Amino acid sequence: MSTGLRWLGHASVVLDVDGVRILTDPLLRRHAHLLRRRGGEPARGHWQDPAAVLVSHLHHDHAEIASLVRVPGAPVLAAPANARWLRSHRVPSAVGVAEGMWWQVPGTDVRIMAVHAVHGHRPMPHRPNAACGFLVATPTWRAWFAGDTAPYPAMADLPALAGGPIDLALVPVGGWGPRLSGGHMDPTQAARVCATVGARVAVPVHWGTLHSPLSRSLPPGWMDLAGPAFAVAATREAPGCTAHVLAPGGSIELD
């Protein structure tokens, strides 16, 4: 099988798995609510026409409504409460997927399962606060998009849920400031969970892209630290895992 991966920045990843395009937490515009993107918006040709869109939770930097309406008709998979909210807010194609249940991309052998995530900090008063990650599997290949989450013991069960070892882990390693609130992972924690799930390849996400309007008062260079720090931590904590650190817009081909 052939698999291509492109990181659009923050938590937005395009997976092209045997001709099936999957898009995660799409942020397709310059900004996300009050947060600002470093660099221009992703090129349309890099993300258009997905067969499925995965939304891990409804924080503005992961469920940006104006971005979601740019992919009309594509099934938008989310936790059931989040899907109901999305359908009432200009995303009629939202599909509620309960944890542990497979959803199959129509006409393909690509399956998607919502899995647990621990991300209850900073609840939003005007949106549901359910959160999940996702497994993406074919008969011969498996990926885990963690969404936003803190480590939790049942991560060790993900390979069994996926039906085999995790070939690719998309793990958050930073945020939009140098300090992380609860419900996130730092580079070392992310490397450790890659070891826990036995990931063969990992790509760090959720870093180096967004910043707040107040970021001029933050230490210079903080946006560039988390990805390389994850690669260093992975060599120590998950020696069987190959880390690929991409720039926003960068891509790799996976065997």
In this predicted model, what pLDDT tens digit does every residue of 92-105 receive, in sequence order? Answer: 999 999 999 999 99
Q: Residue 49 pLDDT > 70, yes or no?
A: yes
What percent of the chain is modeled with pLDDT above 90? 83
- Count how many Cα atoms sit within 13 Å of the Cα of residue 92 in the half-sphere of its side chain: 2
Q: What is the pTM of this model?
A: 0.96
CB 113 within 8 A of CB 100: yes
| pLDDT on residue 253 | 96
- CATH number of this structure's domain 3-247: 3.60.15.10
Pick the residue with more confidence: 161 or 176?
Answer: 161
**Mean of the per-residue pLDDT values of the chain:** 94
Output the six-digit token pair for 11.
């938590």
Residue 43: its pLDDT value, please? 97
What is the per-residue pLDDT for 53? 98
Residue 216 is predicted with a pLDDT of: 66
60-64: average pLDDT: 94
Residue 124 pLDDT greater than 90, yes or no: no
pLDDT of residue 1 exceeding 70: no
pLDDT score for 64:
96
Report, as an integer, the average pLDDT of 26-42.
Answer: 88
pLDDT at residue 161 greater than cutoff 70:
yes
- How much is the pLDDT for 215? 59
Average pLDDT in the 130-155 region?
97
pLDDT above 90 for 34? no
pLDDT tens-digit map of 169-214: 999 999 767 777 778 899 999 999 999 999 999 999 999 998 887 7
pLDDT of 118 higher than 70 = yes
User: Which whole number is the average pLDDT over 59-77?
Assistant: 96
Give the separation between CA 12 and CA 130, rounded to whole angstroms: 19
Residue-level pLDDT at 218? 73
What amino acid occupies position 26?
P
What totals of helices (H) and strands (E) does the chain contain, helices first? Answer: 6, 17
Reported as half-sphere exposure (CB side, CA atoms, 13 A), residue 1 has a value of 17
Average pLDDT over residues 241-253: 97
Residue 208's pLDDT is 93
pLDDT of residue 61 exceeding 70: yes
CA dihedral of residues 179, 169, 101, 80 (deg, nearest 10): 30
Q: Is it the case that residue 217 has pLDDT exceeding 70?
A: no
The 3 state secondary structure assigned to the chain is CCEEEEEEECCEEEEEECCEEEEECCCCCCEECCEEECCCCCCHHHHCCCCEEECCCCCCCCCCHHHHCCCCCCCEEECHHHHHHHHCCCCCCEEECCECCEEECCCCCCEEEEEECCCCCCCCCCCCCCCEEEEEEECCEEEEECCCCCCCHHHHHHHHHHCCCCCEEEEECCCCCCCCCCCCCCHHHHHHHHHHHCCCEEEEECCCCEECCCHHHCCCCHHHCHHHHHHHHHHHHCCCCEECCCCCCCEEEEC
Tell me the domain boundaries of the chain. Answer: 3-247
